[in-house]
Structure 1
Amino acid sequence: MKKIALLLLFVSFMSYSQGINNYQYVIVPKKFDAFKTDDKYGMNTSVKLLLQKYGFKAYFSDESFANDTMNRCDFLTADLINESGIMVTKIRVALKDCKGNIVYQTELGTSREKQYSIAYSQALREAAKSFETLNYKYEGKSLPFQPTTEKPVVRVSETRIESVSTTNTDEKPVVRVKDNKIETKPNAPFFFAQPTANGYQVVDNEPKVIMRLYNTSQKNVFMADKNGVNGTVLLKDGQWFFEYYNNGNLVSEPINLKF
């Protein structure tokens, strides 16, 4: 009986692997059906970064695509399956095809932490262990697709993804000094703010924590700690800035930050 059970488990695993390896791109919605608001507890951002970590090309549903000839069924869609109870948080990550069929789903990740933002993060990390044994490697056809670096605009129809194409440029940083204030222009990498107990942690796409933000009494103003450099992150005219003092000069660094 044990041999039969192991054989069935192996066949199931191989079926998952073969199916998932036919897909390269995953669309991550800005809001999972399990929640009422966008990126609740940073789950959507975390799932996107998780998929990128394990080799998928994952993009939010509102990010633009530089090619509009791809069929919707060339993509998978990520979903978060919430099986939580009163005392325990339980979630799975599922990847579905264009017909809603589950191509792959993780094992159940659980947490008994009482604070929801921490509990969902812990449960996701546990569920993510399934990707370590998946051994995903894309084996399908290469698709003529490149993401743009500008603010995304995407239109998804029932059968085809329609988008606005833009040019990807490798722009080097520009530094200007004016009235003892240093202003810099970044290469435009995007960072993601994930909720914590008293603010946010800012991560890159590895994901690696690059900055911590702490709430203040002012909306859109945070105390910030970036690798030991203390300053302020604030929103001005629709652009986020990290401001701090360096040798008596106020440095104002634009940062592309998504909450």
Structure 2
Amino acid sequence: MKTKLVIAIVALFTLLNVYSQNDLNNYKYVIVPNKFDFLKQENQYRLNELAQFLFNKHGFKAVMEGTDYPEDLLFNRCLGLRSNVEKESGVFKTKLKVVLKDCNGKIVYTSPVGESRTKEYKVAYNEAMRATFDHLRLLNYQYVPKKEHQVTKTQKHETDSEIQRLKEEIKTLKKEKEVKQIKQPKAVVNKRPVTPQKQEVLQAKNVEPKTEKALSNVLYAQATENGFQLVDSAPKVVFRIQKTGLSNVFLVEGKSSIIYKTDTGWVLEYYENGVLKQQELNIKF
């Protein structure tokens, strides 16, 4: 009876191991955070660097959060898994485990716990980290792309063409606007006193359109397969945006407009009645 139970347990762990391996094989990258939640500082005890090293050692392509991402990862964030190392409670042991989540926050893999009995934190964390990463080594990871993760050259070309078309359209409208301003006759000097109301009207006609102020409400970015949906606090979906081949540039679904990042924040750029308009957005990723 005991023998059958042991065989059943071994078979169960084998099936779980195979399932985890097949699931992990569909992801090309692992993103390592700059700081783990159980630590007080970024890269404390150099554990984040160690995690990146161990991922790469066991066949994964690990990139540190905030660094220059590969082009295909910028275009499709769902190619990567977000990693974390979590600490479990223990009186006489330091216990750590690796957790990997997809772009939608779903847990794809949780490793068995790695342990250390060493009292010194720096040594104990290092030993426990290496112990839990040994379980990833046993998975024999090898990247096999999912069909929905495969971005064809045609799709990328179409996106780049759309961006280029929008840029050309913006240039053309700017030129047309400049030509109209050149051809516009000079204003006749009115010697009569101008009332404050008329002065405001005249000023309004000569002032260039300015960027609209940012929306007062914060928009929260929620990852989708090809980009993000921006929702307010209701929550209500305000925009659905798609990734492009350019960093921090998104196409707005259903509209001839783009959202891009500047030094001061995010900007929505679009045309309204032939006039180029910009609106600042308060987006939290």
TM-score, normalised relative to structure 1: 0.54
Structure 1 counterpart of 2:247, from 150, 163, 167? 163
Helix, strand or coil: the match of 1:55?
coil
SS in 1 for 2:138: helix
Distance 1:139 1:5 in 2: 28
Task: Rate the CA distance shift 1:16–1:44 in 2: closer, same or farther, 3 A.
Answer: same
Matches within 5 A, 1:167-246: none
The structure with more radius of gyration: 2
Q: Distance in 2 between matches of 1:66 and 1:97?
A: 17
Name the structure where helix makes up a greater proportion of residues.
2
Match of 1:10 among 1, 9, 14: 14
Give the AA of the match of 1:163. S
2:49 — aligned with what?
Answer: 45
- 1:24 aligned to 28, 31, 38, which one? 28
Aligned length: 153
The higher-RCO structure (CA 8 Å, 6+ apart) is 1
When residues 69 and 44 of structure 1 are mapped into structure 2, their CA distance, relative to the original with a 3 A threshold, is closer
Task: Provide the C-alpha distance between the structure 2 equivalents of 1:100 and 1:69, rounded to a whole number of angstroms.
Answer: 18
Using a 3 Å threshold, how does the CA distance of structure 1 residues 36 and 158 change in structure 2: closer, same or farther? farther
Amino acid at match of 2:95: K
The residue aligned with 1:57 is 61
User: In structure 2, which of residues 103, 107, 128 is the aligned counterpart of residue 102 of structure 1?
Assistant: 107
Structure 1 segments unaligned to the other structure (5+ residues): 145-156, 165-259
Name the aligned partner's letter for residue 27 of structure 1.
I
Q: Percent identity?
A: 36
Match of residue 140 from structure 2: 135
Aligned-partner SS, 2:67: coil
Change (3 A) 1:66 1:109: closer
Give, in angstroms, the shift of residue 50 of structure 1: 0.6
In 2, the alpha carbon distance for the partners of 1:143 and 1:17 equals: 23
CA drift of 1:56 comes to 1.1
Which runs of 5 or more residues in structure 2 are unaligned?
153-220, 228-242, 249-285
Give the superposed CA RMSD. 2.4
- How much has 1:36 moved relative to structure 2? 2.2
User: Aligned partners of 1:41 and 1:69: how far apart in 2?
Assistant: 29
